Homo-oligomer: A and B are copies of this chain.
Amino acid sequence: MAPVVVLVGPQLGENVGTAARAMLNCGLRDLRIVAPRDGWPSEKAQAAASGATVVLDSARLFDSVEEAVADLSRIYATSARARDMVKPVVTPSRAAEEIRGLAAEGTRCGLLFGRERIGLTNEEVTLADSLLTVPLNPGFSSLNLAQAVLLIGHAWYALGDDTPEHQPAAEGRSVAERKHLFGFFEHLEGALDPTGFFKTEQLRPTMVQALRNLFVRAELTAREVRTLHGVVTALGGRRKDQL
């Protein structure tokens, strides 16, 4: 149960469109629009939505915030600035945790976004349980409507997403078995021996270790080991011609 996005008094159709796009990026589909200044439906919104028409086509229009949130049980008012109001203030990630927890209990939540320049009125904020503020560079914190929807929507999306934080380079590929790596080491070191690369027998073990560590660290795939064999053969061949 994803949170509902309520755009309160949006001025430009374009901004409703880009907000709808940001919603769909984050898997949010329930858009409610309160008293849009330039009317509804909006061709400019459609053009700016870059294909997020499923969100715009099912958007619902309301005359007041009270009507738009009437069926919701927990409401967050987004605000760029602190309000002199006795109300908790939460970050997007905290709100996302709360919303997912409440959804699991069957409680539907809504996110209020205010007008482009002036935001939500204090009367509108009073209808919400919590203020929701995105931590940003305090010297330059103004976001446009779609960016605010994107950052807050993405905090919600990310909590439910199971993409691994880090997928190793060889993900889904055949990582070289260690014996193939050892075979490559022998090939490389054997090709280097006659060239004088190792300078002295005393220096050789340290230099071999440095080379082996470099290639072990690269976490080579089986295919890359074959490529490296080819590289040594190619260079070794040239070297022999030069001898």
Name A90's contact: one of B91, B157, B166 (CB within 8 Å).
B166
Within A144-193, the residues touching B (CB, 8 Å) are: 144, 146-147, 150-151, 154, 157-158, 161, 163-171, 173
The answer on a CB contact under 8 Å between B88 and A167 is: yes
CB contacts (< 8 Å) of A93 on chain B: these are 158, 165
A166 to B130, CA, bound (A): 10
Chain A interfacial residues counted at CB < 8 A:
47
CB contacts (< 8 Å) of A89 on chain B: these are 166-167, 171
- Any B CB within 8 A of the CB of A143: yes
- Any B CB within 8 A of the CB of A233: no
The answer on a CB contact under 8 Å between A141 and B25 is: yes
A39 to B235, CA, bound (A): 44
Name A86's contact: one of B24, B141, B154, B221 (CB within 8 Å).
B221
A50 to B163, CA, bound (A): 34
The answer on a CB contact under 8 Å between B157 and A137 is: yes
The answer on a CB contact under 8 Å between A163 and B140 is: no
* A147 to chain B: closest residue by CB: B150
Within A117-146, the residues touching B (CB, 8 Å) are: 133-137, 140-144, 146
The answer on a CB contact under 8 Å between B140 and A24 is: yes
* A129 to chain B: closest residue by CB: B169
A50-B142, A135-B158, A173-B86 known; A22 and B168 CB under 8 Å?
Answer: no
| 6 A-B pairs in the complex with CB atoms less than 8 angstroms apart | A25-B140, A51-B142, A86-B224, A88-B169, A88-B171, A147-B147
Residues of A within 8 A of B (CB): 21-22, 24-27, 50-52, 86-91, 93-94, 133-137, 140-144, 146-147, 150-151, 154, 157-158, 161, 163-171, 173, 221, 224
Contacts A27-B137, A50-B144 known; list 14 others, CB within 8 Å: A25-B142, A25-B147, A26-B136, A51-B140, A86-B169, A91-B164, A135-B158, A135-B161, A135-B163, A136-B154, A147-B147, A150-B151, A151-B151, A151-B154
Q: Sorted from nearest, which 10 A-B pairs have the closest CB atoms?
A: A94-B165, A135-B163, A89-B167, A24-B140, A27-B137, A135-B161, A88-B169, A25-B136, A86-B169, A91-B165
